[in-house]
Amino acid sequence: MEIGSAEWENIIISGAKFFDVNVGLKEVRQFSIHAGELLKWNLKINLTAITDPFEVAVKHFLDSIAPAGIIPAGASMLDIGSGGGFPGIPLKVVIPTLSVSLVDSSRKKITFLKHVIRRTGIEDIEAVQGRVEELAGSTKLFDVIICRAFSSLEMFVGSALPLLAPNGIIISLKGKINPEEIEAVRASGDKKRGTGKISGLSIDIKIKKYLLPYIDSERTFMIIKKTSLGAVTK
């Protein structure tokens, strides 16, 4: 879909209102820089299979900011497997008080992320090469740990929990989540009693479904908190 820059920016500004997120001129221009660099670098580095500008706007940027309303201002946030910078960079743009760490195992992708950070002028954000398992021994804990398209939901949650601050939340952005995935997360620590424990920790799981604006594609994000009693609510 061929669209001009002004139309692309309007898609972002109008679409963000669907999630009650206010995107102004400064923010949409930062998105535009990010999108331009993504498509340029994608010619040499495999950053995304989505290259149509309209789909980039909706499936990358608007989808990334969908959970903005549940992320507290001033929180520290870890984006695991950030890849092309999603959802970490768009969320940082719309919630500028966040302190963000982007982690990816690919050196080339981290080089790209650092380039985007410089080009957009975003502050209080870092891009670090490595695997999330390597961070487990760190004393730094995060208020929010988020990820898109992690291969295994159970592995993502298991890796994120040791890095989660007290009262923090884990957010997983996916397409449709099947019941088997949810049950695997709940039962991974205590299958016998099914109490939703992972490594001795009880968790509370909430599922929120939403439609992407313009294309009405069903998406889901899962919100996980440590709690004294595991539960699943919708």
Amino acid at 171: I
Sequence-separated (6 or more) residues with CB below 8 Å from residue 1: 52, 53, 54, 55
- Domain spans of the chain? 5-233
pTM over 0.85: yes
The size of the chain, in residues, is 234
Q: What is the pLDDT of residues 83-132, one digit of tens each?
A: 999 999 999 999 999 999 999 999 999 999 999 999 999 999 999 999 88
Across all residues in the chain, what is the average pLDDT?
A: 88
**pLDDT reading at 194 higher than 50:** no
Give the residue-averaged pLDDT of 201-214. Answer: 88
Q: Which CATH superfamily is domain 5-233 in?
A: Vaccinia Virus protein VP39 (3.40.50.150)
Amino acid at 48: T
**pLDDT reading at 156 higher than 90:** no
Give the residue-averaged pLDDT of 142-169. Answer: 88
